[in-house]
């Protein structure tokens, strides 16, 4: 059964076509710069990337481009081969506690949550509508970043703010990267041979979050109402005293929105280092003795260790920590420094294994807490949900 997993952004559309239930990737691709005359469509054919520059005024045209590409390169013989479409949706609020088959009402319900994710949900909806129009007779499923975290208790997801804010406006921690945290934690359970394992997943990329998973359920996570909360990231500040917004807005003569934009797009690695938002650049400059790059790295390592320590206490123990996503899977220096920062928990790094790539244990055999690299695959997780709901 061929299923497309879709991740629609405001100006991009990423997709992966998979054979299910084998979970075999047939092809993948990306449409970038949607809304511009110099948009780029990239599709992987026989392991090689084929690129095409063309005007793509909207998401509907982007979807048409994807379908045409699949047919043109004979990835599929006809549209009839596609039996399902899974859509990543960032914010499901408290309305969606599970993935759901998309209907007109579901689309309206997702739209009602736009205030909670103004940059993401409208783009996700645009992608949904475009695919529904072109593939009207195919099951379409919404898979939410927030669903996996719906198992958190009130003490984990509520802020100590006026309770009316939560009741009136849904102000609470929702968490994100849920499909990644679920995929990686489920794989960790298999590797440990323990469905009741206490696991911390460190999804470290340009966007980064940690998640405490106890017996297969998310019990806490670092991102909050928005992806700005938590550890410092490529361009996001992570946790910060909210009074900073008022202080900087007054001193810099900026609106709150402009300061918030700085915290989202000009902070984190980029803001502290003054060099780059890319972990590879930070590590390279750190190894050359660059002070601010070193500082940016140390701040993030310290905050990651803070969360791991608090989750260890909250869960009453820890069996494994799993590194995933772009930095987690590919940055041995980051993994090394995180593990050294939490060695008090009974974890020792296997230096040789840490230098390798791909799924593997990177802690020594005698470590009380195990450490793994587990490559994430959010697209497979989305396709699994389509398959499950198509039965």
Supply the residues annotated as catalytic.
145
CB atoms within 10 A of CB 388: 12
CB atoms within 10 A of CB 363: 21
Given the structure tokens 């410092």, which residue do they identify? 232
CB distance 210 to 231 below 8 Å: yes
Q: Name the burial class of residue 264, with classes exposed (0-12), middle (13-18) and buried (19+) by CB atoms within 10 angstroms of its CB.
A: middle
Q: For residue 360, is the peptide bond before it cis, meaning its omega torsion is within 30 degrees of 0?
A: no
Q: Does an H or E element contain 295, and which?
A: helix 291-315
Question: Bridge-partner residues for 52, per DSSP?
Answer: 41
Closest CA to 325 of 304, 309, 340: 304
DSSP string of 182-249, one letter each residue: HHHHHHHHHHHT-TT-EEEEEEESSSEEEEEEETTEEEEES--SSTTSSS--SS---S--THHHHHHH
Check the CA dihedral 215-218-220-223 and report its sign: positive
What crossing angle do the helices spanning 291-315 and 332-341 adopt, rounded to 10°?
A: 50
């Amino acid at each position: 059964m061929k299923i497309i997993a879709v991740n629609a952004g405001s100006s991009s559309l990423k997709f992966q076509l998979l054979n299910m239930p084998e979970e075999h990737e047939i092809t993948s691709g990306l449409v970038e710069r949607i809304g511009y005359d110099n948009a780029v469509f990239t599709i992987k054919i026989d392991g090689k990337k084929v690129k095409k520059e063309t005007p793509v005024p909207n998401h509907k045209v982007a979807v048409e481009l994807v379908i045409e590409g699949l047919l043109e390169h004979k990835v599929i013989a006809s549209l009839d081969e596609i039996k399902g479409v899974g859509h990543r949706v960032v914010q499901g609020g408290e309305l969606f506690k599970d993935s759901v088959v998309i209907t007109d009402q579901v689309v309206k319900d997702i739209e009602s949550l736009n205030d909670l994710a103004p940059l993401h949900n409208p783009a996700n909806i645009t992608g949904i509508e475009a695919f529904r129009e072109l593939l009207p007779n195919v099951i379409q499923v919404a898979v939410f970043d927030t669903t996996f975290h719906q198992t958190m208790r009130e003490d984990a997801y509520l802020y100590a703010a006026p309770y009316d804010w939560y009741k009136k406006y849904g102000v609470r921690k929702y968490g994100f990267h849920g499909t990644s945290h679920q995929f990686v934690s489920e794989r960790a359970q298999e590797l440990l041979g323990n469905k009741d394992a206490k696991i911390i997943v460190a999804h470290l990329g340009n966007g980064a979050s940690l998640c405490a998973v106890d017996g297969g359920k998310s019990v806490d996570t670092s991102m909050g109402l928005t992806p700005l909360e938590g550890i410092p990231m490529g361009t996001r500040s992570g946790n910060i005293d909210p009074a900073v917004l008022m202080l900087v807005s007054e001193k810099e003569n900026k609106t709150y929105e402009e300061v918030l934009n700085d915290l989202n797009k000009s902070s984190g690695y980029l803001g502290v280092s003054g060099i780059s938002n890319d972990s590879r650049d930070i590590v390279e400059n750190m190894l050359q003795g660059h002070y601010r790059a070193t500082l940016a790295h140390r701040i993030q390592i310290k905050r990651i260790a803070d969360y791991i320590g608090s989750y260890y206490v909250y869960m009453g123990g820890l069996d494994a920590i799993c590194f995933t996503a772009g930095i987690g899977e590919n940055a041995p220096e980051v993994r090394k420094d995180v593990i050294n920062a939490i060695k008090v928990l009974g974890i020792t790094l296997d230096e040789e294994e840490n230098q390798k790539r791909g799924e593997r244990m990177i802690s020594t055999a005698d470590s009380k807490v195990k450490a793994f690299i587990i490559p994430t695959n959010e697209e497979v997780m989305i396709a699994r949900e389509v398959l499950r709901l198509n039965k």
